[in-house]
A and B are shown apart, each in its own frame.
Chain A
Amino acid sequence: MFLEKIFSHGKKERYVIEDIRRHIELLCKACDAFTVALEKQNRDLIWEVVELEREADSVRRQVISHIYEGAFLPYLRPDLCKFVEIVDEVFDVLKEAAFYCVENKIPEPLRDESIRVALLNFRMCDMLMSSFEAMLEGQDLREKTLAVRIFEKKIDDIKHDLSKEAEGVRIDNFWAGKALSDFIANLTMISDIIEDASDHLQIINVSTR
């Protein structure tokens, strides 16, 4: 493993790498569960997303504490912490989007495109996982970063369609409209944050060369 080879074979480093991997895995699972929940309109799976977010929160704390206990060279620590924080931000936004689905049904005209965005979000997480593994192997991340950007661009296009379609949805009151608007914003913001995480991974990769 690239990072381990360069910096240390210590236990702390191994724990950090394992925990970061676990953190991204949980994100993939959460995005997948969310997509399936939307497809099948299954509320239990929505709660699973919330559970996964809680689990991820504790993994994040472990990563940060191991890093502050002295894992990795000091110059690399802030970047690793920042990466974990960005991934955690994705969980927060995903959880907010999931909460909307607990109490509301996605309006029919927005349903298909919402599912598509959720699936593309999952694809991006998958690519992030793949990027992380590639970084550990010391590979170039250029192709993977580009793939993440392509997904993000696609979601950006759908975002405009969703917003336009939402204008035609009948809304009962201000709060229902706000909740729907927030849902669309959160659902489409996930890709922006994953893109940030991917870019940060690239920065870490370059800084370790």
Chain B
Amino acid sequence: MACNHANKPGGGGVMKIHEFMTRKIEFIDANKSVYDAVEQMVDRRIRSVVVRFSGKDPDYGVLTSRDIVFRVLAKGIDPKKIKVSEVASKPIACIDKDTDFADAAAIMEKSNIARLFICDKGSVIGLISLLDVMAAELVMRARGNHVS
């Protein structure tokens, strides 16, 4: 019997971040306007987009709804007249897909960020948010091996 994910049923096996991550990630070019980003985020009902900066190697930043509201809209700046690259945060916080939830939560707390990107060979493959960490906590509590 080839059981790779647990030694015995009911015994579990360690849960990793990639099981809970969201792969639905939206990208936007750094040269686009913030208005384009707003359109994309509202249309897809997402709270952040990954910003792709042009260059040889993949280079990413992140633009969140918080950045847009606080740094652009609240200051009365026209979102059509400002580029994504001027508002986006860079670099993004990346973790490995095999990171465990306790470490992810610690990184979020230390860096005071709400989302971590899961990167593989220089590419962003997923995203984990505060809500995902909370859901994982509930699951691990039910399994008897919780994060906190």
Contact = CB atoms under 8 A, between A and B. Distances in A.
Interface of A: 24-25, 28-29, 32-33, 35-36, 39, 45, 48, 112-113, 116, 119-120, 122-123, 125-127, 129-130, 133, 143-144, 146-147, 150-151, 154, 157-158, 161
B139 A125 contact: no
Interface in B108-148: 135, 138-139, 141-144
A151 B141 CA distance: 14
A45 B141 CA distance: 31
B4 A32 contact: yes
Contacts of A161: 23-24
Contacts of A157: 22, 24
B39 interface: no
Nearest to A125: B9
Nearest to B146: A143
Contacts of B18: 116
A35 B141 contact: no
A28 B138 contact: no
B142 A146 contact: yes
A24 B11 CA distance: 13
Q: SS class of chain B's interface: helix, strand, loop or mixed?
A: loop
A65 to B, nearest CB: 24
A39 B3 CA distance: 12
Given A130-B10, A161-B23, A35 B142 contact: no
28 contacts: A25-B10, A28-B9, A29-B1, A29-B3, A32-B3, A32-B5, A32-B6, A35-B4, A35-B5, A36-B5, A39-B4, A48-B1, A112-B23, A113-B23, A120-B19, A122-B5, A126-B9, A126-B13, A126-B143, A127-B142, A130-B143, A144-B142, A146-B138, A147-B141, A151-B139, A154-B20, A161-B23, A161-B24
Q: Which 7 A-B pairs have the closest CB atoms?
A: A28-B9, A147-B142, A129-B10, A143-B142, A147-B139, A144-B142, A32-B3
A150 B139 CA distance: 8
A129 B9 contact: yes
Nearest to B18: A116
Contact of A29 (B9, B15, B135): B9
Nearest to B135: A150
